[in-house]
Amino acid sequence: MKKNFLLVNEIRNPENTIIINYGQSGKRNIAGGLAYTLEVTIQLLDAKTHNLIFQCSAEGMGSTEAEDIRIAVNRCLDSLQ
């Protein structure tokens, strides 16, 4: 929302709309299993054609799972700029 994306319940004008899919796509143990990173994947699709516009995956490692995901999402979206 800070990047001027709007959430909608219905796509009324697919010519001017993108679909964003996201989710946790992986978990990797590090340091001999003492810690782990979470991976997220984000896709942007053209709402009219469903063609892929952008896709990224990134890992995050923080002190909580929520922080892991926040770090991963921010890293992923940084590549969009």
* pLDDT tens, per residue, the chain with 81 residues: 777 778 888 999 899 899 999 999 999 998 888 889 999 999 999 999 999 999 999 999 999 999 999 999 999 999 887
DSSP of the chain? -TTS----SS-S-GGG-EEEEEEEEEEEEEGGGTEEEEEEEEEEEETTT--EEEEEEEEE--SSHHHHHHHHHHHHHHTT-
Contact 23, 41 (CB under 8 A): yes
| pLDDT score recorded for residue 59 | 95
pTM confidence score: 0.81
The pLDDT of residue 81: 74
Q: What is the pLDDT of residue 51?
A: 97
